[in-house]
Amino acid sequence: MIHENSVIDAVLFIAVLAPSIIFHEVAHGLVAARLGDPTARAAGRLTLNPIKHVDPFGSVILPAMLALGGQDVFGWAKPVPVNPNRFAHPTRGMAITALAGPATNLGLALVVGRLGPFEQVGGVVFITSNDLWARVLLGLLIVNAALAVFNMLPIPPLDGSRLLPLVLSDQGRLAYARISQYGFLVLVLLLFVFRGSLRFLGSWISWIIRLAV
């Protein structure tokens, strides 16, 4: 049996997840364009129109199923196309472009934390209102803090994986590119098979939430 509160929480989560991942993806495209790659602009992806970014399964169906089932929620948007060959320094350009997404989510979390009806007592953050708008702001704070941290994992295709090539040799980059195709499988295993393996991320997410409030 699915309780009404579970349904409301699932809908609320998707409502705050969608704009958060859209801003994340647009940030990638804007920075890529600034560094010399107009691919995202040519594809019409430098827009806040959700139709251009939302992946029906990754942005709506899967997060809803996980939220309703009381599981850790995971989701994604359509990746913004980037052509690293357009950058003057491809490896560095990809790293900077990748960082733009989590940095945007971190910025959103910090702004929402200041705007929301939150109070911190003894390192614990409380919401001081139970109205819908307060719950939306709380959701935005948590989701953006989580996106900022989760996407910095050095596992392809997450943004953190774009930083590793900066410290690898040319041969190491080729080897890393070959094994990157298995990154999504690794993520699935960590999230759904070896549950609890990413629990350590919670402390970083909590730290950002406390910092924002």
Q: How far apart are CA 37 and CA 187, in angstroms?
A: 28
Residue 3 DSSP label = -
Query: CA distances (Å), 24 to each of 36, 69, 101, 102, in order?
Result: 19, 26, 4, 7
Three-state DSSP string of 109-166: HHHHHHHCCEEEECCEEEECCCCHHHHHHHHHHHHHHHHHHHCCCCCCCCHHHHCHHH
Tokens of 96: 């900077």
Closest CA to 73 of 125, 13, 19: 13
Residue 119 phi, psi (nearest 5): -145, 140
Specify whether 4 is catalytic.
Answer: no
DSSP conformational letter for 49: -
Separate counts of helices (H) and strands (E) for the chain: 8, 2
Catalytic residue among 10, 17, 24, 25: 25
What is the maximum span of the chain, computed from C-alpha positions, in angstroms?
A: 56
Active site residues: 25
